[in-house]
Structure 1
Amino acid sequence: MGKKICVVFPGIGYHSDKPLLYYGKKYMSENGYEIVDLKYGKLPHGLENAFAAGWDVVIPELDSIDWREAEDIVFMSKSIGTVIAARYAAEKDLDVRHIYFTPLAMTLKYADGHGIAFHGTADPLADTDEITKLCAAKNIPLYRYKGGNHSIETKDILWNIKTQKDIAEKYIDYLNF
């Protein structure tokens, strides 16, 4: 049996110790996945600049992985990380299952249909109608959370906890199909 790899692509200020990635990473680890927890260091301002700098930082680490040894590859990504994850999988022609937390419009330029996406409707970095159309065009199921910001959170802590549970149930179902 080959190994299972989960690569975690954080956002600019949303690292893997924050809820979406923390619980996702924990689930993957408990289910036998080797975790590759990427770090970008300090990124410049602006999405395009941050993407380019993040890309340059993680490519050597990703290229050092022997993907042929992997029986299953999951890319769990957040925000700018969704763009890097989708582009890397496309350029390397990897068979990857994606979990996209708050994807950006740029992400869907590279994404194939192998994924699931989560979006807060009050996300200032991603227009709900645009993300909905782009995900539909790529056959990526999109789960929208009314009033959720770019972290899929609101000021209501109980809503946040309930939403984290719902999101986890959906990606667990996706992974275990």
Structure 2
Amino acid sequence: MYSYSSILTSSDPKLSIPNSFLRQDADTDHLALILPGLNYTCDMPLLYYASQVMLEAGADVVQIKYDYTQTQPSSKDSPLSDRFGSLAEDVTQIARVALMQRDYKHLTVIGKSLGTLAIPHFLQADLSLQPQTCVYLTPILNELVPIHDLIQTCPRNLFVIGTSDRYFDPELINQLISPNADNFMIIDEVNHSLEYPQDTFRSLEVLEKVIRGIQNILME
């Protein structure tokens, strides 16, 4: 079982970055950080079940609940690199505080879309623990390819993207990592939500495949 609370990232609660802290009742040395997308929250299927599989694996889970579309109205028109600067600062602040909750030995980071841009930042940030497992759900490839050397410093990576995703680009995938690699899951015809539009049951099959992929990489 686990308890549900939040972590204060600032002495002023009004300045604290919204989050949910799912803390195992039993002792654990594994922490998972869940980084949503702009319009894809931690309550949506991919990240909800990613959180559940991490809890089942015995990890504490921190779900970050930023919403730049509401708190920063101009962000939609800003370059992704501008949003990434704020994103990196916010999630690093949460990570620092989260890592103080227990004596963790393992850190898993799961990002969706915009959230994937923060993962490489963890790999070079001065944190007390570096990620050992990084999961990129629908990554923004054009932003990640220039830093592919940094990305590969994470011992275990999993990339998941659909061929109907607006960010899908075979050439960029080849630059990031071999598309035939075991840790790159390319799913035909699914969109940026990793769904088949108007096909619920096929979308559920994709959801199961992705969550099993996350479970499998945890067991490596």
Structure 1 length as normaliser, TM-score? 0.87
Structure 2 CA distance for aligned equivalents of residues 141 and 57 of structure 1: 28
Q: CA deviation at 1:118?
A: 0.4
| Contact residue 87 and residue 111 of structure 1 kept, 8 A | no
Structure 2 CA distance for aligned equivalents of residues 53 and 95 of structure 1: 20
> Where does structure 1 lack aligned partners over 5 or more consecutive residues?
none
Alignment of 1:31-70 (within 5 A): 31-43=57-69, 44-45=75-76, 46-66=79-99, 69-70=103-104
Aligned residues: 176
RMSD (Å) for aligned C-alpha atoms: 2.3
CA offsets, 1:136-171, max 9 Å, x none?
39x772100111111111111111011111112222
* Aligned amino acid, residue 97 of structure 2: S
From the CA coordinates, give the structure whose radius of gyration is larger: 2
Q: CA deviation at 1:79?
A: 0.9
Confirm or deny that 1:162 pairs with 2:202.
no
Q: CA deviation at 1:103?
A: 1.2
Alignment of 1:1-177 (within 5 A): 3-43=29-69, 44-45=75-76, 46-66=79-99, 69-92=103-126, 94-105=130-141, 106-108=143-145, 109=147, 110-112=150-152, 113=154, 114-136=156-178, 141-155=183-197, 156-177=199-220
| Contact residue 120 and residue 144 of structure 1 kept, 8 A | yes
Report runs of 4+ in structure 1 exceeding 6 Å deviation. Answer: none
Structure with the larger RCO, 1 or 2 (CA within 8 Å, 6+ apart): 1
> Where does structure 2 lack aligned partners over 5 or more consecutive residues?
1-26, 70-74
Structure 1 CA distance for aligned equivalents of residues 166 and 213 of structure 2: 24
| Contact residue 89 and residue 96 of structure 1 kept, 8 A | no
Structure 2 length as normaliser, TM-score? 0.72
**Aligned-residue identity in percent:** 22
Structure 1 CA distance for aligned equivalents of residues 63 and 144 of structure 2: 20
